[in-house]
Amino acid sequence: MSHTPPGEAPPVRARGLVKQYKEVLAVDHIDLNVDAGDVYGFLGPNGAGKTTTLRMCLGLIMPSAGHVELFGRDPLRVGAAALDGVAGFVEAPRFYPYLPARKNLELLAALDGGDAPGRIDEVLDVVELAPRAKHRVGGYSHGMRQRLGIAAALLRSPRLLILDEPATGLDPAGMRDMRALIRRLADQGITVLLSSHQLPEVQELCDRVAIVDSGRVVYEGALSELRRSGGAGYRLRTTDDARALPTVQAQPGVGQARRDEHGLSFQADERHVGELSLALAAEGIGILALTPELATLEDLFFRLTEGDAKAAPPADGRAVNAARPTPLGDGIPATPAASAREAER
Amino acid sequence: MSATADLAPGGAAPETAASARAHRRPSTLMVLRWELRKLVSQKRTYLGLVLAGLFPLIFVVVENIHQHGGRGGGLSIFAGEITQSGLAAPVLTLEFLSAFMLPLIAALVAGDIVAAEDGNGTLKTILTRSVDRGQVFAAKALAAVLYGLAAVYVSAAVATIGGVASWGFHPVRTLSGTLVSAPRALLLVFAANAMYLIPLIAVIAFGLLLSTATRNSTASVVGTVGFVILLYILAGIPGLEGWQPYLLTEQFANWHGLLRTPTDWAPILHSLWVCALYAVPCLIAGYLVLLRRDVAGG
């Protein structure tokens, strides 16, 4: 869970990041807030601007506007010093194909300084590449290179791990192992910023997410809040659905009420559902069935990135970039933290 | 992947480890050592050095055959000296190799050293470690210069060993006609090669700029050699004689001054500032390009 100590800079804080390539606006005023201990999912369809944003975070490309700070340090201002305690890779990790894995790690450890050279065996063990360490990387499978990428990142004893699609191209077993490794690293206190479009991966690993679409963040907040808000739907069958509908629609805290051949559906949190049941009883309408319908992350993702009109407003979390109508609807209540951040801006 | 292995000490005390590392960022010398380790791991590196050693070897063998066939002499005083002292051989090979072969060999590495890294995607790997772009550029520039130096001295060493083995370690007549002792001649050979490095460094700087700016190894190597050829062409155009002293290719013979008695330092000093006019802007431009460039390749 998030626990950046008061007074300490968060692992990642990006404000108004913009990247313009001639006529293409790849990243459009993105804000990110990754707190210490987060496993932060950075979600979006291909071409949404995820990788470009991560490149800006690591100082590989220069923002056209805005800035990013890693533990309070801007890579463009302080250079490599901003990457102290930070590791990861963007797109596929790259190595010298003509060198064995161990030699690659030795070279990278030399660039890291500190105790990195002494950690090579340890990180090779972690990613289970020790038996193949003397083999040239040119002969490695995609999955092995991904694991070597993690090993290279771990050499730096990171406090923040930035991983761009780490499970892409892996077979199911490789994906499972990769998730287990990321989970374990997170359990050891490493903050993880994970870019992915593997929704099950994000759902399993992440506690907070930012969802980007067309270069903009369309949601940032806790994954649980997103799921609860987006998926706090209920299916209701009553003794008289036609009479029940106006009662449901009139009930405070209840939204998106509609009637179809299966009965009624609506969005609400639990407290308002309780009040609704009492209101229906007062009207003399019996409840035959009232069942929650939780939306999956996949449902929410597509609602957010494809503009599903049926999307529900989140009860919490933050739908951002209000200049562009969000698929989650207007009048979305922001979290106190988000409000504070807005005020800060 | 291991489900049980732990990541001590980074996992256990990441704050402390990271803080400690902040004060132990590698020096540029360390980055240079890293660059050299990488360079010696590549086959291409040896190809250039083999080329640098092959020509003097062929030269010595051919001259041995000519000597036995009763042919001798040549265009320069050293060609006439070749059978008198083995120490004339490295001077002659430097004369031959300095025009194209050594610039080509230097361009092989200088033109490739950034572009290949960019094309491979390893530039982003490096730049996400604890080194600044300036350190990376400086290390690559120094590595390319050291490689040029190695090529020059491999060539000189092969020619000297081959020449001395064939014709002995004897005094040599200089361009002024005076005779210098064999040890002094050996020193002059060493110094002449060192002076040749001055224009070669300018060629390397140009190659490095192309390598950084074009991100294409082939274009950079070909472009560097093409630049040298262009300068030769310019030198031959009637009416441009006034420019000749300022052409980089004219500086390839700066070391001739060392082989006169007394030593003529003027061409060496002239080449120093002329070559600086080529090298310094190229290095600054290359550095700025790398500093400001978006690293998105690979």
Q: Which of chain B's residues have a Cβ under 8 Å away from the Cβ of A189? A: 11, 14
Name the pLDDT band for B205 (thresholds 50, 70, 90): very high
CA distance B67 to B65: 5
* C-beta atoms of B120 and A97 within 8 A: yes
Indicate whether A328 pLDDT > 90. no
- Predicted pLDDT at A341: 38
Of A89, A107, A127, the CB nearest to B1: A127
Of B22, B42, B122, the CB nearest to A84: B22
* C-beta atoms of B38 and A113 within 8 A: no
CA distance A8 to A115: 25
- When pLDDT is averaged across residues B213-218 and rounded to a whole number, the result is 94
Of B37, B130, B132, the CB nearest to A107: B37
- When pLDDT is averaged across residues B238-249 and rounded to a whole number, the result is 90
pLDDT, tens digit (0-9, with 9 covering 90-100), for B168-192: 999 988 888 888 999 999 999 999 9
Reduce the DSSP state of residue A163 to 3 states and report it.
Answer: strand
Name the pLDDT band for A224 (thresholds 50, 70, 90): confident
Asked whether A2 and A23 are in contact (CB, 8 A), the reply is no
CA distance B289 to B298: 18
Q: Which of chain A's residues have a Cβ under 8 Å away from the Cβ of B28? A: none
Share of chain B above pLDDT 90, in %: 66
- Predicted pLDDT at B77: 64
* CB < 8 Å & 24+ apart, contacts of A44-49: A44/A197, A44/A211, A44/A212, A44/A213, A44/A305, A45/A197, A45/A213, A45/A305, A46/A197, A48/A212, A48/A213, A48/A214, A48/A215, A48/A305, A49/A19, A49/A212, A49/A214, A49/A215, A49/A216
pLDDT, tens digit (0-9, with 9 covering 90-100), for B127-142: 998 889 999 999 999 9
**CA–CA distance from A119 to each of A174, A180, B24 (Å)?**
23, 21, 16
Peptide bond into A200 cis (omega under 30): no
- Predicted pLDDT at B297: 65
pLDDT, tens digit (0-9, with 9 covering 90-100), for B22-52: 446 788 999 999 999 999 988 888 999 999 9
Of B6, B14, B41, the CB nearest to A157: B14
Output B252 or A225, whichever has higher pLDDT. B252
Residue B110's nearest CA partner among B17, B207, B248, B191 is B207
Q: Which CATH superfamily is domain A12-223 in?
A: P-loop containing nucleotide triphosphate hydrolases (3.40.50.300)
CA distance A111 to B136: 10
- Predicted pLDDT at B74: 40
Search chain B and give the residue with CA nearest A188. B11
* C-beta atoms of B22 and A119 within 8 A: no
Could you give the count of Cα atoms lying within 13 Å of B108 in the half-sphere of its Cβ?
20
Reduce the DSSP state of residue B256 to 3 states and report it.
Answer: helix
- When pLDDT is averaged across residues B243-264 and rounded to a whole number, the result is 92
Of A81, A96, A157, the CB nearest to B17: A157
- Buried b / exposed e along A273-292 (16+ C-beta atoms within 10 A): beebeebbeeeebeeeebee
> Would you call B119 exposed, middle or buried from its count of C-beta atoms within 10 A (0-12, 13-18, 19+)?
middle
pLDDT, tens digit (0-9, with 9 covering 90-100), for A79-92: 888 999 999 999 88
Search chain A and give the residue with CA nearest B28. A111
**CA–CA distance from B181 to each of A308, B167, B171, B178 (Å)?**
91, 15, 4, 10
Output A166 or B7, whichever has higher pLDDT. A166
* CB < 8 Å & 24+ apart, contacts of B186-189: B186/B87, B186/B160, B188/B258, B188/B259, B189/B87, B189/B90, B189/B91, B189/B156, B189/B160
- Predicted pLDDT at A240: 92
- Predicted pLDDT at A313: 40
Q: Which of chain B's residues have a Cβ under 8 Å away from the Cβ of A111? A: 26, 30-31, 34, 126, 129-131
- Predicted pLDDT at B284: 97
Name the pLDDT band for A219 (thresholds 50, 70, 90): confident
Indicate whether B18 pLDDT > 80. no
- Predicted pLDDT at B10: 38
Measure A104 CA to nearest chain B CA, in Å. 9
Could you give the count of Cα atoms lying within 13 Å of A224 in the half-sphere of its Cβ?
3
CA distance A195 to A211: 10
Q: Is B288 on the interface with A (CB under 8 A)?
A: no
Output B16 or A178, whichever has higher pLDDT. A178
Element (H, E) at A248: helix A241-250
E strands within B89-246? 172-173, 179-180
ipTM of the predicted assembly exceeds 0.95: no
Q: Which of chain A's residues have a Cβ under 8 Å away from the Cβ of B26? A: 110-113
- Predicted pLDDT at A44: 87
Residue ranges per structural domain of chain B? 27-292
At residue B97's C-alpha, the angle toward residues B94 and B103, to 5°, is 120
pTM attached to this predicted model = 0.80
Share of chain B above pLDDT 70, in %: 87
Q: Is B290 on the interface with A (CB under 8 A)?
A: no
CA distance B261 to A15: 69
- When pLDDT is averaged across residues B210-214 and rounded to a whole number, the result is 96
| DSSP for residue B233 | H
CATH number of A233-293: 3.30.70
Search chain B and give the residue with CA nearest A162. B128
Q: Which of chain B's residues have a Cβ under 8 Å away from the Cβ of A123? A: 7
CA distance A110 to A147: 20
Name the pLDDT band for A109 (thresholds 50, 70, 90): very high
Residue bearing tokens 């209101």: A279
Residue ranges per structural domain of chain A? 12-223, 233-293, 297-315+327-344
- Predicted pLDDT at A100: 95
pLDDT, tens digit (0-9, with 9 covering 90-100), for B274-291: 999 999 999 999 999 999
Of A59, A113, A123, the CB nearest to B130: A113
Search chain B and give the residue with CA nearest A57. B128
- When pLDDT is averaged across residues A299-315 and rounded to a whole number, the result is 57
Mean per-residue pLDDT over chain B, rounded: 87
Element (H, E) at B188: helix B182-214
Residue bearing tokens 């590595």: B143
pLDDT, tens digit (0-9, with 9 covering 90-100), for A27-70: 999 999 999 989 999 988 888 899 999 999 999 999 999 999 99
Q: Which amino acid is at A81?
A: A
pLDDT, tens digit (0-9, with 9 covering 90-100), for A245-300: 999 999 888 888 888 888 898 888 778 888 899 999 999 999 999 988 766 677 77
- Predicted pLDDT at A201: 82
Share of chain A above pLDDT 90, in %: 43
* C-beta atoms of A156 and B12 within 8 A: no
pLDDT, tens digit (0-9, with 9 covering 90-100), for B76-111: 566 667 778 899 999 999 999 999 999 999 999 999
* C-beta atoms of B20 and A114 within 8 A: yes
> Would you call B127 exposed, middle or buried from its count of C-beta atoms within 10 A (0-12, 13-18, 19+)?
buried
- Predicted pLDDT at A319: 53
Residue A266's nearest CA partner among A275, A257, A274, A279 is A257
Mean per-residue pLDDT over chain A, rounded: 82
Residue A209's nearest CA partner among A304, A104, A311 is A304
CA distance B219 to B77: 39
